[in-house]
A and B are shown apart, each in its own frame.
Chain A
Amino acid sequence: MYALIALGYTLVYGVLQLINFAHSEVFMLGGFAGLFAVRAVTSPGENIGGTKSVMLVVFGVLVGAAVGGVSAIVVERVAYRPLRRRGAPRLAFLISAIGMSLLLVNLAGKEFGRLPIPVPELFTDGTVFTVFGADVRTGQLIVFGSAIAMLIFLDRFVNGTKIGMGIRSVAQDAETASLMGVDINRIITMTFLVGGLLGGAAGFLYGMTFNVQNTMGFIPGVKAFTAAVLGGIGNVRGAMIGGLILGVAENLGVACVSSSWRDVIAFGILVLVLVLRPTGILGERLGRSA
């Protein structure tokens, strides 16, 4: 889960060398979109099961991803491109992203209410099997499966396609890339699009397990950013590994200590890793070499 959001950060970071604080809001909007889409095609109290529930998840994920992608592009157009054209310093981007984030959170709160909304129960929750005494539910399996699918897709996309090559080239050296005929603006838009697609999809998946709320993006956003850094920011595979490690470590830590220390564990690990390995676990392969 963290890995999915982390990818959005890491992609944008790799290309622009900046932290996209509005990404958590892309995530939130994707969650809302998926929720409304699913709610529009189901009637309340309806008993859903079998293939239909799987179809619904796919539908929700797709809608979430679409809205996430579009909103990510809008964010880029509004909060980044004008600044880039003026050659603003890096911190200005950070601030406009924070502004965008505040705007979107509160606007969504205004339009959709500020209370958490549950996604309709899509599975007549059966425990499929147990691992180490923990129940694994169908819903969790679906989330896990789609996350893996998207990770593989992204990996192929960045490493195997022409646009992926463009993204990597801009990440390495934007100026040279533009000299080689890469349309930087287009690549940046594509990057935001892909990051937004994943973020929006993650938003819906997250909303299925937890709830959808206008402030839902913040904490996962911070965590995902942590995961991205943990794996080596700007490094796609690093983000995946970082997300995985963070998720596992947190839950193990919760099992060992107590749930209220969850975030301390996460950040503690981060600090430790960074002190020992200042550029994250895998280093920065996508970005410029450290």
Chain B
Amino acid sequence: MTAVSDPRPTLLDRVRGNADARRLARYLLIAVVAGLIVGKDGTGDEPFSGIKGSFQDSTMLYLVIAAVVASVLARLYDAQRDTVAQLRGRASGAREQLIGGSRQKYANIAFLVLALVFALLLPLGLSGFWQRVLVERIGIFVLLALGLNVVVGLAGLLDLGYIAFYAIGAYVTAYFTGQLPAEPPFTLNPFLIIPISVLAAMIAGVLLGAPTLRLRGDYLAIVTLGFGEIVRITAVNSDKLTNGPRGAIGIPHFSAFGYQWKLDSKPYYYLLLAMMVIVVIAFRRLENSRVGRAWAAIREDEVAAAACGVPTVKFKLLAFGIGASTAGLAGNFYASKVGFISPDNFLLITSFLVLVYVVFGGMGSLPGAILGAAVLTWLPEVLRDKVPAQDRYIYFGVLLIIMMIFRPQGLIPSKRRAREFAMHEGGDALGSAEGSGTTAGAIA
């Protein structure tokens, strides 16, 4: 903040100049918002009744008291930290350099095995409802997040219409099982349609990608967003092809090799898990291959990559195709598991949510994408019992903001990104020590 130049500072100026007062004001504001969130509902007729009710509630009082206490504590903490921080800062940096190396590798493998065992045993301890959540929400979205991670995280292409490919996968499944008004040339079991769905989504991805990948970052984002909406609205409007807003009903379950999947979620879960493992291994190998390096180069600086002889269009198309085909797989799976799809499954907001999962988990990081999607799809389901259903997404939004403020790199950032962040933080500390703002560098 700028220094107060007015010879007679007003109260507002004094509050502004005083860090403690500023913090108190901030905490109070947070408390009031929190009070509103958990407080009473209002209605359109009496718009302020909800707000009034929340303020009369004792919860609000407690929250405000908590805010005051917290600001005092924070002040004490700050005073202490300032003296300790400088001593500690250098030591920890040096320590991190020493750990690592080959022990890290074994730890990783052990962790992977544990995670896999956990995933295998997980559904056994869950009720039927949670098994369904596990497959229909968490599993599907983890798969989607993995696919989008390739496009956004690895190749750095912002795709806001990702859900379109998911829709295409699902509708192709519905088509070839004969559940759409349009007659297919032949009908198959959904399990055998998997390759067709994947292929169809991939073709759609490449078709969309080919003309639009010339566009720079945000233009690509808006075109993909438009594409996603076009696909959805087409599905809504083409009564003869897609049965319009009513969607397709009665898509059969998987059956293969004499085994018939039924309503039970467990077999689906294990199939999905197997696919995920395959996808993860494939993506891991891609990431560390020549292709992955090309993607990283494109993400960091496309012009430089092209100048160094990376065929950018080819690799961007590849990323798009791979991402899209993963979504196609997820779409096929969803259609068969739930047995019912309609355009409402493929809203624009779902595209945003998948993107949120990827960034929340840590861009470009496979475990991050998995964890991000799992946590964030699980959260609304947990909140279902705890808070009024319609308020769930308030908490969701708050979580996103807090997360991005305090850990913008995501839950499990990829190694490369973690390094970038560490570098930036270092520069940042230097900048503030010199007493200058860091805004300019951060914006660029």
**Could you tell me the distance in whole angstroms from the C-beta of B15 to the nearest C-beta in chain A?**
15
Binary A-proximity of B380-413 (CB < 8 A = 1, otherwise 0):
0000000000111110111111011100110000
Within 8 A of A (CB), among B352-367: 352, 355-356, 359-360, 363
Q: In the complex, what distance in Å separates the CA atom of A277 from the CA atom of B348?
A: 25
The winner among B48, B222, B225 for most chain A CB atoms within 10 A is B222
Contacts of A275 in B (CB 8 A): 211-212
Within 8 A of B (CB), among A254-285: 260-261, 263-264, 266-268, 270-271, 274-275, 278-280
Contacts of A216 in B (CB 8 A): none
Q: Check if A175 sits within 8 Å of B441, measured CB to CB.
A: yes
Q: Check if A260 sits within 8 Å of B397, measured CB to CB.
A: no
Binary B-proximity of A18-39 (CB < 8 A = 1, otherwise 0):
0101000000000010001000
Which of B212, B230, B428 touches A274 (beta carbons < 8 Å)?
A: B212
Tell whether B302 is near chain A: CB-to-CB under 8 Å.
no
Contacts of A267 in B (CB 8 A): 225-227, 229-230
Contacts of A84 in B (CB 8 A): 439, 442-443
Given A89-B408, A106-B394, answer yes or no on A19-B401 (Cβ-Cβ < 8 Å).
no
**Could you tell me the distance in whole angstroms from the C-beta of A7 to the nearest C-beta in chain B?**
16
Q: Check if B50 sits within 8 Å of A103, measured CB to CB.
A: no
Q: Check if B356 sits within 8 Å of A98, measured CB to CB.
A: yes
Q: Check if A95 sits within 8 Å of B400, measured CB to CB.
A: yes
Interface size classification for chain A: 35 or more
Contacts of B409 in A (CB 8 A): 88-89, 92
Contacts of B428 in A (CB 8 A): 85-87
Which of A36, A78, A85, A225 touches B401 (beta carbons < 8 Å)?
A: A78
Q: Check if A32 sits within 8 Å of B47, measured CB to CB.
A: yes
Q: In the complex, what distance in Å separates the CA atom of A265 from the CA atom of B357?
A: 30
Tell whether A58 is near chain B: CB-to-CB under 8 Å.
no
Binary B-proximity of A56-95 (CB < 8 A = 1, otherwise 0):
0000000000000000000000110011111111011111
Q: Check if A96 sits within 8 Å of B400, measured CB to CB.
A: yes
Which of B44, B219, B230 touches A115 (beta carbons < 8 Å)?
A: B44
Given A260-B233, A271-B226, A274-B223, answer yes or no on A92-B36 (Cβ-Cβ < 8 Å).
no
**Could you tell me the distance in whole angstroms from the C-beta of B359 to the nearest C-beta in chain A?**
5
Tell whether A107 is near chain B: CB-to-CB under 8 Å.
yes
In the complex, residue of chain A having the shortest beta-carbon distance to the beta carbon of B158: A91
The winner among A16, A93, A95, A275 for most chain B CB atoms within 10 A is A95
Q: Check if B230 sits within 8 Å of A264, measured CB to CB.
A: yes
Q: Check if A184 sits within 8 Å of B226, measured CB to CB.
A: no
**Could you tell me the distance in whole angstroms from the C-beta of A82 to the nearest C-beta in chain B?**
4
Contacts of B218 in A (CB 8 A): 13, 19, 229, 233
Contacts of A82 in B (CB 8 A): 405
Q: Check if B219 sits within 8 Å of A87, measured CB to CB.
A: no
Tell whether B267 is near chain A: CB-to-CB under 8 Å.
no
Tell whether B63 is near chain A: CB-to-CB under 8 Å.
no
Q: Check if B394 sits within 8 Å of A111, measured CB to CB.
A: no
**Could you tell me the distance in whole angstroms from the C-beta of B338 to the nearest C-beta in chain A?**
25
Which of A36, A102, A266 touches B394 (beta carbons < 8 Å)?
A: A102
In the complex, residue of chain A having the shortest beta-carbon distance to the beta carbon of B398: A103
Q: In the complex, what distance in Å separates the CA atom of A270 from the CA atom of B44?
A: 36
Q: Check if B437 sits within 8 Å of A87, measured CB to CB.
A: no
Q: In the complex, what distance in Å separates the CA atom of A92 from the CA atom of B439?
A: 16
Q: Check if A83 sits within 8 Å of B408, measured CB to CB.
A: yes
In the complex, residue of chain B having the shortest beta-carbon distance to the beta carbon of A95: B359
Contacts of A19 in B (CB 8 A): 218, 221
Binary A-proximity of B220-247 (CB < 8 A = 1, otherwise 0):
0111011101100110110000000000
Q: In the complex, what distance in Å separates the CA atom of A84 from the CA atom of B226?
A: 29
Q: Check if B437 sits within 8 Å of A88, measured CB to CB.
A: no
**Could you tell me the distance in whole angstroms from the C-beta of A258 to the nearest C-beta in chain B?**
8
Given A95-B359, A95-B360, A274-B219, answer yes or no on A174-B439 (Cβ-Cβ < 8 Å).
yes
In the complex, residue of chain B having the shortest beta-carbon distance to the beta carbon of A229: B222
Q: In the complex, what distance in Å separates the CA atom of A78 from the CA atom of B397?
A: 12
Contacts of B260 in A (CB 8 A): none
Tell whether A54 is near chain B: CB-to-CB under 8 Å.
no
Given A84-B439, A113-B45, answer yes or no on A225-B390 (Cβ-Cβ < 8 Å).
no
**Could you tell me the distance in whole angstroms from the C-beta of A282 to the nearest C-beta in chain B?**
14
Q: In the complex, what distance in Å separates the CA atom of A94 from the CA atom of B401?
A: 10
Q: In the complex, what distance in Å separates the CA atom of A226 from the CA atom of B152?
A: 21
Q: Check if B390 sits within 8 Å of A36, measured CB to CB.
A: no
Given A79-B401, A96-B405, A264-B233, answer yes or no on A102-B47 (Cβ-Cβ < 8 Å).
no
What are 5 A-B pairs at a CB distance below 8 A? A84-B439, A86-B442, A175-B441, A267-B230, A278-B215
Pairs A-B, 9 closest by C-beta atoms? A99-B400, A103-B397, A267-B226, A88-B408, A102-B397, A113-B44, A96-B404, A92-B408, A175-B440
Chain B residues within CB distance 8 Å of chain A = 2, 36-37, 41-45, 47-48, 50-51, 152, 158, 211-212, 214-216, 218-219, 221-223, 225-227, 229-230, 233-234, 236-237, 348-349, 352, 355-356, 359-360, 363, 390-394, 396-401, 403-405, 408-409, 417, 424-425, 427-428, 437-444
Known A87-B442, A99-B400, A225-B222; further 10 A-B contacts with Cβ < 8 A: A85-B439, A98-B352, A102-B393, A174-B443, A175-B443, A184-B440, A233-B218, A274-B219, A274-B222, A275-B212
